[in-house]
Structure 1
Amino acid sequence: MATAQVVRSEWTKIRSVASTVWTLSLAVVVTIALGMLISALSKSEYDNMSARDRLSFDPTFISFAGMSLGQLAMIVFGVLVVANEYSTGMIRTSLAAVPQRGAFLFGKISVATLLALAVGMATSFAAFFLGQAMLGDLKASLGDPGVLRAVFGGGLYMTLIAMFSMGVAAMLRSPMLSLGILMPFFFLISNILSAVDATQKVGRFLPDQAGSKIMQVVPPVGDDTPYGPWGGLGIMVLWVVAALIGGFLVLKRRDA
C-alpha cells in the first residue's frame, strides 16, 4: 500500500473513533477553561502578592495554567490512536494490509501528529487571548518580547506530549498499561521529582518539566535552570524521538 493510501486509511480510523474526538475536545475545553479561571484568580490576588512574587508574575504563563490538565487529555489521545488497535485485535488486519511496519507506524504517527498540532495551536492561542482578557490591565500583548514564542511553544508542547504518548503506547501495546504509567508519571511523579530538592536536578530534565519552559516569558526569581526555553523544548524532543524509536523497534521485532 502506498504511503498516501496509508495516510488516508489512518485518517479515516482516527476521525471515525468517537473516543479520539472526545479526548481532543476535552483537551481544548479543560486547557482554556482552567486557564481563564486561574487568570481571573491571579488578577484578584495580585494586590496581595509580595514584591518577590510580583517580579516573577508571568501573565503569559498564567494563561497556560490549564495545560497541566489539558495535557492529560492529549496523553489519552496519543495512547488511544496507537494502542486501541491492539486491544481490539485490529492490529493484525492493519499489518496484513500494510506489511511495511515502518510505513504503517509513520502513517499513523504523521496523521495523529498533524491533528494534535492543529488542535494544540488553536488551544494555545485561544487560552492566551482569553486568559489575558481575564487579567485585565495586567495582561501581556502578543507583540511583547517572548510572548509569541511562548504561545507557539504551547501548541508545540501539546503536540509533543501526544507524540511521546504514541511512542510509549507503541512500545507497551496496551491502552491500560500505557495510561497506567503515563498518567501518574506526568501528573504526580514528575511534579514531585521537580519539587523535592534532592531530585530537582533530575526532575528538570523530564519531558514535561523541560518542555514547559517554552511557555515561560518571565523566569521565576532565583531560577537556576541550565537551559532556556528552546533548550527545554529540545530536551523534550529528544524524549519524543527516543519513545518513537522504541515504539518502532518493538513493532518491527514483535508479532502483532
Structure 2
Amino acid sequence: MASIPAVLRSEWTKIRTVSSTSWTLISALVVTVALGAALSALLNSTFGDLSPTQRLTFDPTYTSFSGMVLGQLAMVVFGVLVVGSEYSSGMIRNSLAAVPQRGTFLFGKILVAGVLALVVGLVTGFLAFFLGQALLGDHGTDIGEPNVLRAVIGSGLYMALIAVFSMGVAAMLRSSILSLGILMPFFFLVSQILSAVPVAKDVARYFPDQAGSKIMRVVPDALSPDKAPYGPWTGLGIMVLWVVAALVGGYVVMKKRDA
C-alpha cells in the first residue's frame, strides 16, 4: 500500500517534470494579466464615451479580470493534461500498479495539481488587479475598498476550481482530446453564447463559469442589464457543486473501469 506522502511526492514530480503542464500555467498567468491590462488601458482612454448608466455600474475590479475569458482556457488545458496525459501515454497502468488504491491515486493527483493551480491563480489575480488599476488611473479602485479583496482572492479560487473541474471531467472521459473537445468549446463559445440568448440565459446562469465568475465582481450587475438571482458566494457555491459532481464522476469511473 502506497503512503499518501509518497503519492503526493510522486504526483508533484510528474507535474513539474512535464513541460506542457508548466507552460499552460504560465500561459494562464500571462494571458489573464496581459489581456486585463490591455482592456483596462482601453477603458481608461475611452471612459468618457460610456453612457451614464455604464459609468454608474462600472466595475474597475472586474475589468482587471477581463483576460480571464482566455486565461481560464489555459487552466482547462492544465487540468485535462494532468489527468488525461496518463491515459494517452499509457502510464496509467504503471501508476495504478504502484498505487492500487484508486481513490488515493486520483485525489492525490487532484490535491497536488489543485493547490498548484490555486497558487498560480492567486498570483495571477493580484498581478492582474494591481496592473489593471494602475492603467485605469483615476477610474480605478483600491484593494482596501469594500469587497475588492474578496474579488481578487475569488479570482484565484475561480481559476483553481476551473482546473479541478477539468480534472474531474478528464477522469470521467479518460481522454485528453475528448475532454478538450468538450470543455474548450463549452467555456469559450457555448456558455458565452447561451448567456446572451434571452430564452437560455436563465439556464446559462447556473453553468460553472457563469456562476463562479460572480465572485470576481464588486458591482454585482456590472455589464449586465439583468439582476443576478444570486450573490458572489452563492455563485461560487454553485461552481463548487459542479466541481464536486465532476470529481465524484471521475472517481466512480476510475473505480469501476480497468486502466
Which bin holds the TM-score, normalised by the shorter protein?
over 0.9
Residue in structure 1 matching 2:255, options 249, 252, 255:
252
For residue 56 of structure 1, report the CA deviation from its aligned partner. Answer: 1.3
Question: How far apart, CA to CA, are the structure 1 residues paired with 2:94 and 2:38?
Answer: 46
1:224 is aligned to: 227
Identity of aligned residues (%): 68
> What amino acid maps onto 2:166 in structure 1?
S
2:67 matches 1:66 = yes
2:237 is aligned to: 234
1:38 is aligned to: 39
For residue 133 of structure 1, report the CA deviation from its aligned partner. Answer: 0.5
Q: 1:9-24, aligned counterparts within 5 Å?
A: 9-24=10-25
Question: How far apart, CA to CA, are the structure 2 residues paired with 1:226 and 1:49?
Answer: 26
Question: How far apart, CA to CA, are the structure 2 residues paired with 1:48 and 1:58?
Answer: 16
> What amino acid maps onto 2:239 in structure 1?
M
> Structure 1 regions of 5+ residues with no counterpart?
none
Question: How far apart, CA to CA, are the structure 1 residues paired with 2:174 and 2:258?
Answer: 11
2:106 matches 1:127 = no
For residue 250 of structure 1, report the CA deviation from its aligned partner. Answer: 0.2
Question: How far apart, CA to CA, are the structure 2 residues paired with 1:178 and 1:56?
Answer: 37
Question: How far apart, CA to CA, are the structure 2 residues paired with 1:231 and 1:222?
Answer: 20
The root-mean-square deviation of aligned C-alpha atoms, in Å, is 0.7
> What amino acid maps onto 1:248 in structure 2?
Y
For residue 222 of structure 1, report the CA deviation from its aligned partner. Answer: 4.3
Question: How far apart, CA to CA, are the structure 2 residues paired with 1:212 and 1:243?
Answer: 18
Question: How far apart, CA to CA, are the structure 2 residues paired with 1:249 and 1:32?
Answer: 37
The alignment's TM-score, normalised by the length of structure 2, stands at 0.98
For residue 128 of structure 1, report the CA deviation from its aligned partner. Answer: 0.1
The alignment's TM-score, normalised by the length of structure 1, stands at 0.99
Q: 1:123-202, aligned counterparts within 5 Å?
A: 123-202=124-203
For residue 223 of structure 1, report the CA deviation from its aligned partner. Answer: 3.1
For residue 243 of structure 1, report the CA deviation from its aligned partner. Answer: 0.2
For residue 193 of structure 1, report the CA deviation from its aligned partner. Answer: 1.0
Q: Secondary structure in 2 aligned to 1:79?
A: helix
For residue 215 of structure 1, report the CA deviation from its aligned partner. Answer: 0.5
Q: Secondary structure in 1 aligned to 2:144?
A: coil
2:83 matches 1:77 = no
Q: Secondary structure in 2 aligned to 1:195?
A: coil
Moved over 4 A (4+): none
For residue 172 of structure 1, report the CA deviation from its aligned partner. Answer: 0.4
2:213 matches 1:212 = yes
2:35 matches 1:52 = no
